[in-house]
Amino acid sequence: MNLEKLKEAEAKFFNMYPGGFEHHDMVAIGKKHKMEKMITTVQEEFSEDQFGNAKDIVQTMSKLVSRSSMVSLFEKPKFRDFVNSLHAQHETILANGLKEMLHGNQEQGFNMMLDVLISGKMAKWSLISVLPVYHKPFKEVFVKPTTAKGVIQQFELDTLVYKPRPIWEFYHEYRSFINEMKSKVDGRLAPNNAAFTGFLMMSMDS
């Protein structure tokens, strides 16, 4: 990781937006994303005691993905149709995978979810990472392909190799880098991890 470039990005961002995400322009952008509401809703809907009925869980997944400003408009209806087409076995695997990802063995949960998404050609980074980042907004990361590739290049995360198909090893290492980078800058750049990766995206060389 190139710490010098990170500190340059920090200075550049504070020059543009004094106060970081406390700047009124950033506050306005944050309101559009409805981050606090989404965090609260996801934490409530996917608390551990809610994981009883697999069909209900995957329908709630679809509903919340459709509300997320971080998932593209192109992917939302595709995911909804995919969820509606699932047979009971895949509903159970997807629901149990999310439960493990949020509350248990993360690697196992990630791969369970991935297997089901692959079956419907829906193995997208956004779909597998969006709910975890709302559930644990200070630990998990949202993997947006263009941002992830840019962060790797800009900040010289040399051990990371981005692949279009999600894999746990990349997610785990990317998350570690993001949380380490976050610890090196002013807290006003990281009200949550999604905002912090937004800062990194906005500060990249054009």
Query: Which burial class, exposed, middle or buried, applies to 106 when counting CB atoms under 10 A from its CB (0-12, 13-18, 19+)?
Result: middle
33 touches 70 (CB < 8 A): yes
Distance in angstroms (rounded) separating the CA atoms of residues 42 and 131: 7
Please enumerate in sequence order all residues whose Cβ is within 8 A of that of 121, keeping only pairs 6 or more positions apart, or say none: none
Nearest of 93, 90, 66 to residue 77 by alpha carbon: 66
Q: Is the pLDDT of residue 102 over 90?
A: yes
Numbers of helices and strands, H then E, in the chain: 11, 0
Question: What are the phi and psi torsion angles at 160 (to 5°)?
Answer: -95, 135
State the pLDDT at residue 206: 53
Q: Is the pLDDT of residue 94 over 70?
A: yes
Q: What residue type is 180 in one-letter code? A: E
Domain boundaries, the chain: 3-18+139-202, 38-122
Distance in angstroms (rounded) separating the CA atoms of residues 73 and 76: 5
Q: Is the pLDDT of residue 153 over 60?
A: yes
The per-residue pLDDT for range 161-195, each reduced to its tens digit, is 999 999 999 999 999 999 999 999 998 998 899 98
SS3 for 154? helix
State the pLDDT at residue 205: 65
Q: Is the pLDDT of residue 8 over 90?
A: yes
State the pLDDT at residue 26: 81
Distance in angstroms (rounded) separating the CA atoms of residues 163 and 91: 26
Distance in angstroms (rounded) separating the CA atoms of residues 65 and 76: 7
Distance in angstroms (rounded) separating the CA atoms of residues 66 and 123: 16
- Tokens matching residue 68: 């997320």
Mean pLDDT value of segment 87-96: 96
Q: What residue type is 83 in one-letter code? A: V
Mean pLDDT value of segment 57-79: 94
